Amino acid sequence: MKASALALGTRGGWSRLGRARLAGLGLLALVVFALPLLFPGNYFVTVVGVSVGFHVILAVSLNLLVGYAGQISLGHAAFFGMGAYASGILTTQYGWSPWLALSAGLFAVFLVASLLARPVLKLRGHYLAMATLGFGIIVHIVLVQAVGVTGGPDGLSGIPGLSLLGWQVATDQDWYWVVAVAMLAVIALSLNVVDSRAGRALRAVHGAELAAQMMGIDSARTKSQVFVLSAVLSSFAGSLFAHQQSFISPDSFSFYVSIELLTMVVLGGMASTFGAVFGAAALTVLRATLVVFHDYEMLVLGAVLMTVMIFLPQGLFVGLAQLFRHALARHRSPEVTGDGAA
């Protein structure tokens, strides 16, 4: 019965939840568009804001796979890198337009992810983690060793920027707006998927895969679809990243990047789109502010992450939201006094 309720839900309940998420998206959009207007030309808003946007896209896409479907992936950075290098190679070496190269990268990643999904997602737990880790390492080795195509460890430079209807995206401020719109579009897509029939199937598979199969849900197909969607969204972020940076190297898509993305998802709160947004933004801003500690930056970052996980194991966003709801409930409930007070 629990699995049935998880998979199907009630129409009214989901609509209320959908309205709440829509309000959250609207509030986030208001903040994103207000920041550069309130702080024009501010380095922290534009440059760090662009980095936050990329990390949010990646964390939200990974959260669909890890948080909602319950499938651990340690190779997410590989798809990020494939999208970036597809755009970089096709534009610099073959003269393709940036938008055509971006589309080709999406299609290539779609094919690769589709071929990988079925065999890889038959694995579970640490076996799945090792398989995705192996895929990420293979991609990273190819990027390093294929010097004639990728530039090897020295990277690939001279990647052209984007243009939109004659508008050349050149300055940090321009890129802020482009990445902000892309980020909000990915968040909206994620929320739509989560509230859809497919999203309810994902949660059912995550909660009790055998029960979900008995209810008629094709768990293999459901997991494959979210794996492919997550990979394609990562490729999209990679292509934007390549055109924004004009230079890419294998170090930007290593195993450590996959670990960092997974940390963002866990830090914000698993199975929460806004939790992934919050975790990505918090960790990116935290790393940008901790540069003042120089050699002790990673030490301080590790201490902060440990503290959060100890006191808020559900994640920052989810944990703080629960604390707020509990405090609000206690405030609204009448005080009980007398000998029988508990």
Q: With bands split at pLDDT 50, 70 and 90, how would you rate the model's confidence at 11?
A: very low
Query: Is residue 341 included in any domain, yes or no?
Result: no
Element (H, E) at 153: none
Residue 339 covered by a domain: no
Range of the domain at 177: 2-332
Q: Which of 6-10, 22-26, 88-92, 325-329 has the lowest mean pLDDT?
A: 6-10
Please tell me the least confidently modeled range out of 285-289, 307-311, 330-334: 330-334
pLDDT in tens, 104-126: 999 999 999 999 998 998 888 88
More confident residue, 3 or 323: 323
Average pLDDT, the chain: 87
| 122 within a domain of the structure (yes/no) | yes
Residue 340 domain flag: no
User: For the chain, what is the domain count?
Assistant: 1
Q: Percent of the chain, pLDDT > 70?
A: 92
The amino acid at residue 173 is: Q
Backbone conformation region of residue 72, classed left if phi is above 0, alpha if psi is from -120 to 50, else beta: beta
pLDDT band of residue 342 (cuts 50, 70, 90) is very low
Specify if 105 maps to a domain. Answer: yes
Per-residue pLDDT, 17: 64
The residues facing 163 across adjacent strands are 168
**Taking a C-beta distance cutoff of 8 angstroms, is the pair 250, 155 a contact?**
yes
Q: Residue 119 falls within a domain, yes or no? A: yes
The alpha carbon torsion through 84, 85, 86, 87 (nearest 10 deg) reads 60
d(CA 138, CA 81): 12
Which of these, 51, 86, 109, lies nearest to 159 by C-alpha position? 86
Answer yes or no: is 167 within a domain.
yes
Measured CA to CA in angstroms, residue 27 lies from 24, 33, 261, 289 at distances of 5, 10, 24, 25
User: Do 315 and 275 contact (CB within 8 A), yes or no?
Assistant: yes
Q: How confident is the model at residue 101 (pLDDT cuts 50, 70, 90)?
A: very high
For residue 130, CA distances in Å to 124, 188, 225, 306, 334 come to 10, 31, 20, 24, 53
CATH classification of the domain holding 46: 1.10.3470
Can you tell me the distance from the alpha carbon of 64 to that of 73, in angstroms, rounded to the nearest whole number?
11
Taking residues 269-298, what's their average pLDDT? 86
Q: What does the pLDDT read at residue 334?
A: 57
pLDDT at 4: 39
Q: Is 82 within the bounds of a domain?
A: yes
The average pLDDT across 129-134 equals 93
Structural tokens at position 94: 């073959």
Asked if the model's pLDDT at residue 65 lies above 80, the reply is yes
Q: Is the entire prediction scored with pTM above 0.95?
A: no
Cα Rg of the chain (Å, integer): 21
Is the Cβ–Cβ distance between 276 and 113 less than 8 Å?
A: no
Tens of pLDDT, residues 204-218:
888 888 888 888 888
Cα–Cα nearest to 179, from 315, 107, 284, 66: 284
Residues in the chain: 342
